[in-house]
Homo-oligomer: A and B are copies of this chain.
Amino acid sequence: MTKEMPPKIIIPADPEHQALRFNRVREAHQTETAEDYVELIADLIETQGEARVVDLATRFGVSHATVNKVILRLNREGLVVNKKYRSLFLTDEGRELAAKCRERHQVVTDFLKAIGVPDDIAELDAEGVEHHVSAETLKIFKAFTRKTRKIS
């Protein structure tokens, strides 16, 4: 990384350029589990008072064993605090990430609705799309939604 790239001309068919795209998608996949987990944990703490393994399992549609394994990783990565047989908490870093993800999720959902996607479909699509939208695109989404709302 950080080779010298003087004028940085992008040739779309350039193999290395293509590799960059796929690398970025793979990176997104690395982080998206963590993102969805901290987001849902934050939501549960707000709406239910606490985040329990069994609720995460139901909401994600996976077994509690799977949740447990992921939580172990998130703990290792410093996003989640868990004491045995107790409900889950977020670290400061986890809370920060959750806030960022919730905001982003909302921007994507609102945008899809703004361009006319039915609410239920917008919510389905946003769950996946959110993890692949760059900051620049997000900004454009936000501006578009704002503009549309002023009109209507």
Contact = CB atoms under 8 A, between A and B. Distances in A.
Q: Is the interface of A mostly helix, strand, loop or mixed?
A: helix
A40 B15 CA distance: 11
A5 interface: no
Contacts of A129: 129, 132-133
Interface stretch (A52-60, A74-82, A86-94, A96-104): A52-60
A128 B132 contact: yes
Contact of A22 (B36, B118, B133): B36
Number of copies of this protein chain within its complex: 2
Interface string A58-70: 1111100000000
A125 B121 contact: no
B144 A121 contact: no
Interface residues on A, range: 35 or more
A134 interface: yes
Contact of A21 (B15, B16, B127): B127
